[in-house]
């Protein structure tokens, strides 16, 4: 029998590898802008979000510079380029699962959160407000907010699953993806307002309000991951 090897590499890494080969072959010189996401997606027969993940992986590897709203540019090769981040989870897949689980965790938290958990939420919001005023965004504060709700849901399996998703968000590709979004002031302001609404519903014991506020927040972030780059 003549069999072919089966690749289990993530699609966005396979795409990044093809673009890397073209860069290394000299098809795109340092300083030059790569073709648009639309053109790359058409050429490769994949979705634009997958191309976007591939470009972030190339940025993490030191091969391109991504400028949100402009495009991706080939970096000067100085020997500092790293290998592609093969083990990083897909940021879009992580977000898809978060949208399934975290609204319910917020609803459960509204029924079970302790005074200590409520105090932690309010303190984290205070930190987030200060960061937003100073044009900053902290993934640490974001994680504390969401994991405080997961801690309060009183479901160990749900809590551990959400923690695993946030651990995946610490991968460099996911972290860089979200940092590009947070560099935009309108995104930071919207995220802060979302967190205010989530906390207000949770601490008031409004389960349906908490579920809806979390769902709307994650929908906004998911849409920003797909659209804000244009």
pLDDT, tens only, 8-32: 678 889 999 999 988 888 888 889 9
Average pLDDT over the chain reads: 89
Name the more confident of 120 and 50.
Answer: 120
Give yes or no for residue 174 having a pLDDT over 90: no
Name the more confident of 133 and 158.
Answer: 158
- Phi, psi at residue 71, to the nearest 5°? 155, -170
CATH 1.10.10.10 fits 11-74, yes or no: yes
The fold for domain 91-227 equals 1.20.120
Confidence of residue 4 (pLDDT cuts 50, 70, 90): very low
The predicted-structure confidence for 205-230, as pLDDT tens digits, reads as follows 999 999 999 999 999 999 888 776 65
The predicted-structure confidence for 52-96, as pLDDT tens digits, reads as follows 999 999 998 889 999 887 889 998 876 666 678 877 788 889 999
Name the more confident of 82 and 118.
Answer: 118
The single residue listed with the structure tokens 């965790």 is 105
Helix axes 91-112, 48-60, angle to 10 degrees: 90
Give yes or no for residue 1 having a pLDDT over 90: no
Pairwise CA distance, residues 200 & 210, whole Å: 8
Q: Is 87 exposed, middle or buried (0-12, 13-18, 19+ CB in 10 A)?
A: exposed
Q: What is the pLDDT of residue 120?
A: 97
Number of C-beta neighbours around residue 220 at 10 A: 15
Break the chain into its structural domains and give their ranges: 11-74, 91-227
Pairwise CA distance, residues 133 & 160, whole Å: 33
Q: What is the pLDDT of residue 143?
A: 93
DSSP state of 89: P
Q: What is the pLDDT of residue 195?
A: 97
Give yes or no for residue 98 having a pLDDT over 90: yes
Per DSSP, the three-state class of 71 is strand
Cβ proximity of 74 and 29 under 8 Å: yes
Per DSSP, the three-state class of 72 is strand
Q: What is the pLDDT of residue 2?
A: 52
The pTM for the full model equals 0.85
Cβ proximity of 66 and 53 under 8 Å: no
Pairwise CA distance, residues 37 & 41, whole Å: 6
- Number of H helices and E strands in the chain, helices first, is 10, 2
Q: Do domains 11-74 and 91-227 have the same CATH topology?
A: no
DSSP state of 106: H
Pairwise CA distance, residues 219 & 213, whole Å: 10
Using the Cα atoms of residue 123, residue 195, residue 191 and residue 103 in order, give the sign of their dihedral.
positive
> Which tokens in the block code for residue 229?
């780059």
Confidence of residue 114 (pLDDT cuts 50, 70, 90): very high
Q: Which helix (H) or strand (E) holds 67?
A: strand 64-67
Helix axes 11-24, 48-60, angle to 10 degrees: 60
Give yes or no for residue 169 having a pLDDT over 70: yes
């Amino acid at each position: 029998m003549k069999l072919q090897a089966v690749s289990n590499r993530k699609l966005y890494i396979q795409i990044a590898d093809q673009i890397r080969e073209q860069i290394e072959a000299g098809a795109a010189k340092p300083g030059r802008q790569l073709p648009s996401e639309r053109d790359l997606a058409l050429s490769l027969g994949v979705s634009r979000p997958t191309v976007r993940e591939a470009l972030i992986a190339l940025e993490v590897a030191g091969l391109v510079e991504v400028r949100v709203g402009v495009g991706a540019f080939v970096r000067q090769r100085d020997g500092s380029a790293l290998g592609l981040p093969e083990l990083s989870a897909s940021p879009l897949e992580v977000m898809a699962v978060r949208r399934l689980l975290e609204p319910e965790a917020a609803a459960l938290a509204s029924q079970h959160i302790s005074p200590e958990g409520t105090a932690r939420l309010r303190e984290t919001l205070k930190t987030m407000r200060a960061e937003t005023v100073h044009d900053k965004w902290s993934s640490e504060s974001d994680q504390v907010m969401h994991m405080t709700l997961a801690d309060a849901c009183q479901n160990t399996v749900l809590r551990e699953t959400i923690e695993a998703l946030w651990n995946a968000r610490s991968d460099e590709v996911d972290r860089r993806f979200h940092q590009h979004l947070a560099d935009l002031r309108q995104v930071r302001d919207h995220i802060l307002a979302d967190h205010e609404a989530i906390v207000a519903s949770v601490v008031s014991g409004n389960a349906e309000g908490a579920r809806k506020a979390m769902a709307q927040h994650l929908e906004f972030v998911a849409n920003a991951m797909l659209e804000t780059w244009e």
